[in-house]
């Protein structure tokens, strides 16, 4: 279904460029996917590794549009976000053999959102014995795996499942 009412599109036109200070918008418009830890670009959302991960393989699915909540996103955006989340779960299962996952969003500062103006879905692989979900997106940890290595592993697994992304190539 086509959405005629798209307030995010309007604000984008008014501002004429990505909002300053938003790391997701900056990552999206950069040319260095490797440096920015972008794993995969869909049509309406992209997948990025968390620079301050809770665990190895901590992914985020982020809409291309600078939106503060799913409530102002379109059904199409949300549908693709769900597809990418499923691909993320599968890719992480294959890469890291986790015992479980947390998927969730923090909307608003009070809920622990680090970047509250641009909503995103966290996908965090979990292993038996690590701590509860409340600490997942609020705190940070030191992670042994190099993020560049993780990015390449996961990108290959996304490409295998979904084919070339919006950027194409590797």
Residue 18 or 159: the one with the smaller Cβ distance to Zn ion is 18
Q: Does the footprint of Zn ion cover residue 118 (CB under 5 A)?
A: yes
Q: How far apart are CB 159 and Zn ion at their closest, in Å? A: 25
Catalytic residue list contains 122: no
Q: How far apart are CB 134 and Zn ion at their closest, in Å? A: 26
Residue 58 or 118: the one with the smaller Cβ distance to Zn ion is 118
Q: Which of 66, 118, 120, 122 is catalytic?
A: 120
Which of 39, 121, 26 has its CA nearest to residue 73? 121
How far is it, in rounded angstroms, from Cα 29 to Cα 35? 12
In angstroms, how far is CA 9 from the centroid of its own chain?
A: 20
Of 34-42, 70-78, 113-121, 148-156, the segment contacting Zn ion by CB under 5 A is 113-121
128: DSSP letter: T
Q: Helical H runs in 19-104?
A: 23-29, 33-36, 75-96
Q: What track of x and - describes contact with Zn ion for positions 23 through 52 (by CB under 5 A)?
A: -xx---------------------------
Q: Where are the beta strands (DSSP E) in the chain?
A: 38-41, 45-49, 59-63, 100-104, 121-126
Residue 66 or 151: the one with the smaller Cβ distance to Zn ion is 66
In this chain, which of 22, 105, 143, 159 binds Zn ion, going by CB under 5 A? 22
And the tokens for 76? 């199409």
Q: How far apart are CB 168 and Zn ion at their closest, in Å? A: 23
How far is it, in rounded angstroms, from Cα 75 to Cα 150? 30
Q: Does the footprint of Zn ion cover residue 153 (CB under 5 A)?
A: no
Q: Rounded to the nearest 5°, which phi and psi values hold at 111?
A: -90, 0
User: What end-to-end distance do the CA atoms of the chain give, in Å?
Assistant: 32
Which residue numbers are catalytic?
120
**Contact footprint for Zn ion (CB under 5 A):** 22, 24-25, 66, 118
């Amino acid at each position: 279904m086509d959405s005629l009412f798209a307030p995010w599109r309007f604000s984008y036109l008014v501002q004429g460029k990505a909002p300053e200070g938003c790391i997701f918008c900056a990552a999206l418009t950069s040319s260095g996917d490797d440096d920015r830890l972008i794993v995969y670009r869909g049509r309406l959302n992209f997948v990025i590794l968390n620079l301050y991960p809770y665990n190895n393989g901590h992914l985020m699915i982020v809409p291309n549009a600078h939106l503060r909540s799913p409530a102002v996103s379109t059904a199409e955006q949300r549908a693709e976000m769900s597809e990418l989340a499923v691909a993320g779960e599968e890719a992480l299962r294959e890469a890291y053999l986790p015992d479980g996952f947390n998927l969730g969003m923090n909307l608003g500062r009070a809920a622990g959102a680090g970047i509250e103006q641009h909503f995103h879905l966290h996908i965090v692989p979990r292993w038996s014995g690590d701590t509860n979900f409340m600490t997942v997106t609020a705190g940070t940890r030191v992670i042994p795996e190099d993020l560049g290595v993780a990015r390449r592993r996961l990108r290959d697994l996304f490409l295998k499942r979904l084919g070339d992304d919006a950027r194409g190539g590797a």
